[in-house]
């Protein structure tokens, strides 16, 4: 059964496969309502007969360009972070294998979301980046979870904010499969159908243990990153300036001071 959950998220039940598409053109930027809708769609998939969740996107320009910068303001920040991280906690605990189908821009929170799936299929023309550092921020899931999984391959992206094409992301070991333009969702669905044709119970057991062994400190690491983001980073004048400058479409004017030593632990 196909349909729209709300706030730009499509849901399609394909038996063994639940297909979710982010649908907020042109760049599928996630705001607080669409994050909540995506969480509801994941919960719906969890309660279905599906064995595999395919996370894709509508439109040709982007998987997702990340979380709306407007939701990084002090009045919305904590609600946004905790709501967004609920998606990652859900993926980590899920009985479903998750497969990301990536085309176009996959930036910031969009890249965190894609790379937090169990498998990542991306098109050669996809673009990956964690540009938060250029707004005087950091990607919490990137530094807490993904850097643990991918090491220096991801740390470099966190620290430089550089953009890399799909082929380079594949060379760095960030992807499961690299496919031609226009083939990401099709390939992901084929993989999902193949996995779902076997024992769904054993598939679920296997993927949960794969995650637990690969990321044994997932929850503790994510909690530390949340505290660092909300209690240390968000209190710096530079983060406030970086966000304001982006929204006002001007160069940021950062202070010359340095951050206090220590921080959240």
- Residue (of 22, 31, 214) closest to 105 by Cα position: 22
Whether 42 has a pLDDT exceeding 90, the answer reads yes
260: confidence class by pLDDT, cuts 50, 70, 90: very low
Task: Enumerate domains of the chain plus CATH numbers.
Answer: 2-181+191-200 (3.90.226.10)
Strand 127-129 vs strand 163-165: parallel, antiparallel, or unpaired? antiparallel
262: confidence class by pLDDT, cuts 50, 70, 90: very low
> Torsion over CA of 251, 235, 27 and 11, rounded to 10 degrees?
180
Strand order in the sheet with 119-123: 2-6, 9-14, 17-22, 52-57, 97-102, 119-123, 177-179
Instruction: Give pLDDT tens digits for 231-255.
Output: 999 999 999 999 999 999 999 999 8
Report cis status (omega within 30 of 0) of the bond before 26: yes
Instruction: Give pLDDT tens digits for 114-140.
Output: 999 999 999 999 999 999 999 999 999
Structure tokens belonging to residue 119 = 């498998």
> Concatenated DSSP letters for 126-168?
-EEE-GGGGGT---HHIIIIIHHHHTHHHHHHHHH--EEEHHH
* pLDDT recorded at residue 255: 84
- Residue (of 161, 157, 65, 62) closest to 104 by Cα position: 62
Q: Please tell me the distance from the alpha carbon of residue 88 to that of residue 195, in angstroms, as a whole number.
A: 22
* pLDDT recorded at residue 151: 87
Instruction: Give pLDDT tens digits for 185-215.
Output: 999 999 999 999 999 999 999 999 999 999 9
* pLDDT recorded at residue 203: 98
């Amino acid at each position: 059964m196909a349909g729209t959950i709300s706030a730009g998220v499509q849901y399609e039940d394909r038996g063994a496969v639940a297909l979710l598409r982010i649908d907020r053109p042109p760049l599928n930027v996630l705001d607080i309502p669409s994050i909540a809708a995506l969480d509801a769609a994941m919960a719906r998939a969890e309660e279905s007969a599906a064995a595999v969740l395919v996370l894709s996107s509508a439109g040709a320009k982007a998987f997702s360009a990340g979380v709306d910068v407007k939701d990084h303001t002090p009045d919305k920040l904590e609600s946004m972070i905790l709501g967004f991280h609920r998606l990652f906690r859900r993926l980590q605990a899920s009985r479903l294998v998750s497969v990301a189908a990536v085309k176009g821009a996959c930036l910031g929170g969009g890249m965190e979301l894609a790379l937090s799936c169990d498998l990542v299929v991306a098109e050669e023309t996809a673009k990956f980046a964690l540009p938060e550092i250029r707004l005087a921020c950091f990607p919490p899931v990137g530094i807490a979870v993904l850097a643990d999984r991918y090491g220096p391959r991801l740390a470099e992206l966190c620290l430089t904010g550089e953009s890399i094409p799909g082929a380079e992301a594949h060379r760095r070991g960030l992807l499961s499969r690299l496919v031609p333009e226009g083939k990401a969702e099709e390939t992901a669905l084929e993989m999902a159908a193949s996995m779902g044709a076997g024992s769904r119970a054993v598939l679920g057991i296997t993927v949960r243990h794969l995650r637990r062994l690969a990321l044994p400190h997932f929850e503790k690491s994510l909690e530390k990153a949340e505290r660092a983001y909300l209690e240390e980073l968000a209190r710096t004048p530079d983060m406030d300036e970086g966000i304001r400058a982006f929204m006002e479409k001007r160069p940021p004017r950062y202070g010359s001071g340095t951050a206090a030593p220590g921080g959240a632990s």
